[in-house]
Structure 1
Amino acid sequence: MPRDPELAPEVFDQAVVMIALTVGPEQRLAYLNEAFRRLFGDRPLGVPVREAFADEESDAFFDLLDQVYTDGRARQATAPHAAKRLGEQDERHLLYSASPVHSRYGRGVLVALIDATAEISATRRAELLSEQRLQTLRRYQALVSAVSQMVWVARPDGTMSELVPGWERFTGQPWSTSMDRGWLDVVHPQDADHLVEAWERATAAEEMFEAVFRIRAANGEYRHVESRAVPVMHEGQPVEWVGATADIEDRWRSRLREDLLARAVAVTSTSRMDDAFAAMAAVVVPDLADACAIFLITNPGKGIGGRVTATRVAAVTRPGLPPLPPMLRQEYLLGPQALQTVGRRTPMLLAFEPESPPHSVVPTVSAGWLGRTQATALTLVPIVIDGRVVALAAAAVCETRPRPDQAYITLLHEVLQLAQVPLSQSLELQRARQVALSLQRALLASTPDVPGADLAARYQPSSRTAEVGGDWYDAFLLPDRSLALTIGDVAGHDLAAATGMGQLRSMLRGIAYSHADRHTPAEILSELDVAATGLDVADFATAIQLHLVPESGGWALSWSNAGHPPPLLLPVEGPPLLLGDGEADLPLCVDPSGKRTTHRHRIGPGDTLLLFTDGLVEIPGEHLAQGLERLAGEAAAGRGLPVADLCTDLLVHLPDGRDDIAVLAFRPHPADPPPA
């Protein structure tokens, strides 16, 4: 903003209004005109005003000067200040204003005082206090007008008048003398109700009115203004309101920029890529946009037909708007406008009519959302990390919000780009997690072909953690062609848990394979517990070891449970059954000397045995029994599915964000039908 012209205080030498000028944070007295000296006498220049007027009890007035100098806002008195003329005993009543100015002495405060003793004395004897005070205010109207503010008066009947004009110049609209005759037409539609509520609240409480809102300027753009008004009281009743309105757009944008950048720092608090992008989208909503979606470039030039594809990884909408429709992380092709934004690495503004959203730019479901929310503009912003465009942000404005101008687009781009470092860290961690998950999946061997039975397994990592987990399963045929099954979970969601999982799985596989013919499942787990504790493999783990032996008319099942959720048996007919529910022994790595129990059951042809880790049944705040009951119902509903489809179906119906999950399903082939 251009600097205000320097004030030459000598123009007030012969003015009838008393004028004083202070400079600097110490409020050093720099100038007094003759009218001021006649009232207060000569005072030393160059010293702080508190020292120059040490004989005056005016701490509140001096504090006011400090406030004007600090925040740069003018203030004027609404109640008279009492003072004595030099050599006189009678008090004089002064009205004053204090305005920030620049003079050749530097930045300071210009104080104007009017001797309103006669007016105020008369006012105390009259019923029309408001008119007389207004007349007093007009005496220093010229001084107040130097503060670059629109000053106005509102009366109880709703009429308004300007003391310092500026409304028509600012808005291009003539001044309206009543708030119900067009005054609100240039106020931003989203701010009008809030503004009226603030005014009604202030007038009802007879207290200061303060509001920041947007006004449509003469060039058609909306600018933020700040209005303040105080009531003028007479006999306990407000007779009018005196207020000032100032353009604060530059200051507001500066504060908004600082706030947005400070909020962008929060992205560093998360290491998960989706959370990092969601945090960035939340930074710009609702201050810069009504909705923001971020799409991760998944195949830069390597997608369908060599074209670029993307996946939505974050979506945020402001309160009051419906959420963006879920996209289930499917890929979609970038349209020509999006490709141009990615290629040029510069933002692009797409303006359109509310009934004509750009179907070529966004997925069909998103275009439908834009139509329902009366969107009028979409800003595409490339997110560049480590020298390449890794994501594309799409920010929408909806309903009555004005389309963004270039300044807002620039700020949106700047905010998103300043998240390069934390987003780069999240992407790097995401890549490391993918590598770790690949290694973890490599440890989970494929299930063997079991003569006379079907066997399937599924593993699903957590979708809300940046680390790998400790869930595992195992299935292998023993030398006598019987089947060993294992399900387990090492506590934790980090590399240590995954490492411990791999070691426990390998140790248990070796013990079970070499000793299955002479050890029960309980003895196998006991031997594993001693070895794992002695070698400090893990701090805490749960597991179930099972042994399945084919026999006439079914399979003999024996198992031991080390603190794990119980197996679930789905008979061909009848209700599901939790095997050994409530009979689990101690988890592993707690007390290797503890006794372990082997349980036995028989599985008939067509029955289904399910083994699973706690992520399939546990929800924070819910008792485990509820999760087990829910699983039993879902599994019973899908018992007619092939075992592989059953495992998949149980995972698909889970809410997002569960713990790691491992599932094993075993089903003997159904019995052959009797011959006809």
Structure 2
Amino acid sequence: MQVTNIPSPAEDVEVSFGSPSGTRTRQVAGGRDVAERRLTAARAVAAETVLNGDHAVVVIGVTSNGPELTWMNPAFERASGYSLAEAKARDGDILSPGYRSVVLARLAEHAMDREPFPMTLPTLRPDGEEVAVPVMITPHFDGRDSLDFFVAVQFGALEPVATPSPDLGYHSRHALETVARVSDILSQVGDDQVLDAIGRLLTRHLYPWCGFFADDGVLTPISGLAGGVAAGQRPPGRAVADQDDPVGRLLGATLMRRVRIGVDSVESAGSPSAQLVEHARAALGGTLAPGGELLVLPLLGRGRTLGVMAVVQRGVGDDQEESETVLELVARRVGLAMDHSRLYEAEHRVAEALQRAMLPEQDQVDGLDVWTYYAPNAEHAQVGGDWFDVVHLDERTVATVVGDVVGHDVEAAASMGQLRSVVRAFATELIDPGTVLTKVDGILEGMRIPRPASLVYATLTPADEETGTWVLDYTRAGHLPGLLISGGEVRDLDGAPGRLMGFGGAERETATVRVRPGDVVMFYTDGLVERRSRTIQDGVQLVRGILQEAAAAATGAADVGEALLRRLSEPPEDDIAVVIIRLPEPTGPAGARSPRQARWRLSSDTDSVRMARRLTVSTCELWGVANAGAAELVVAELVSNAVLHGWGSVVLSLKDPGDGLRIEVEDGNPVPPTSLEVHPARVGGYGMRIVTRLADWGWRPSGAGKVVWARMRQEIPEGLL
């Protein structure tokens, strides 16, 4: 049948009917309206066929975690034996063991062809029967031309699944699929949850219970590759006592071997073997049958045991040896992954220590309010080429440098250290910014520093003691202009531009501007303003707006800096270094200015708490700050937390900007402080509550660690002291 003429909805339709005796033509009344109604009816019939017909249909969505079941019709539910909810509860894992990787590979192979392709979906039903569903798969794309989902429609009869090899049975395919899935999990799941994911996989297919444990004096469950003792070493004093226990001996092994523990035969209470049995009993409750066994294997790194893996065996069967071989392969893979993770962590700590050693010690600058900030890239190894310096060049001149060496690795940090040392050496002799960088250019040509670098170098010198004005001289080497906030307006410090360091060739210039009390000067690296979601220009405009608002209401450089961090709260995509300098208003006797500030580096031990308290009280008395007792309490709490929970040395800073004492305590632990709920069974939890009553407080990242700050309130609640 052929429709040959549809001129308009009002005209008749000419339809030709073919037959063995010839072709006959007749007019069909109704025109295009009838044709459209029939097309609509045909679509409805097709939709009904897809929804409730005998041919299986399934939609496979494409997500960031890979393909996943999105929808299936009743025919597919009957073929597979699973409802959509049941299939999703199994994470879509309804394929026959051994075939999942093949199916995913076929989908990936044909995903971008935009053409339908045939495939067989081998499915394991809940009753153990395996069926093959022949389907035609069509990829569908969204409006942005991105692959959105696949539609698979059955086009043939269901068939039994063919065994991949005559010698490869059901359990063997289970084993191969399990090992492949473990490899996928190790490469795709985050390090902190990867062992939990592997445990769920093994308990789903092979064992009633599985656990991973590290030895830190007791066997502690771990869920990630970095869990347990960081160096993978056994605690002192355990070696001799553990030799009588099979798991204890396993913890000291350097070769792969299997240990079986009868759940009823553990005699030594508190031994590693007894601890494993107790963990299994706690996890399985009453289902840990008497006479059962735990199979334990070491998680081996390079020449050491990092932990153990334990499973409860179902019983003796034909596939027991095969299952144990799979378990051994899994343990080897997990052990190597743990070892690689810890080697990476060790390298990370070395790089971090190098970076922290190269970050500056900010000089205490009388007459200027200085706030500095450094944050490493959130996506890299917390080491890079950004840095800042704030130093006294002589009794009158203060210099600041903000620089950026390209890269986020140890080589970038090493180049930064070399460049920083050269700049500081010439700065102390030559002072003038243009002259300093011109000399540095000449030195860098012979040093062969492998990374390009930008920087801005500035000096501040008092110009008029009575009015409190200063002279700001600066020069730039391929760096973003600094910002000056004066009289409520923000202007770029874009004078004296120049090429990147080492590419100078000509004499560099020096630009000069006068700054007055209340003005704010800011230098920064591009990591502060650059994001994937916006251009550098947009980021600079955003910062200008924030500074204009913050500087008008701020009484100190720290207020401006904290406002900047609050508004730009997303994790940095590049290293960030910031220096903010505010010129305070003259106060008190001639020549005296606020803020006054003091800074001390303390060791990480309990004696530092007493020292910090004494330093705080004596400084408050010297400055005439009221409520020295309240400041002492706050400092004691913050320093105690830094000693107990922080890493490395502790830096205590006191600043008096004129509107309340500001306290800052820095340590090397990036984890933010937390106020605990007070509970009779918990020791502690009161300290930060006291701080909250006495001061406004917060925290910010600093290098690889953090700074916890507190601004003392002018009025202390009655009865608190």
TM-score by length of 2: 0.45
TM-score by length of 1: 0.48
For the pair shown, the structure with the greater C-alpha radius of gyration is: 1
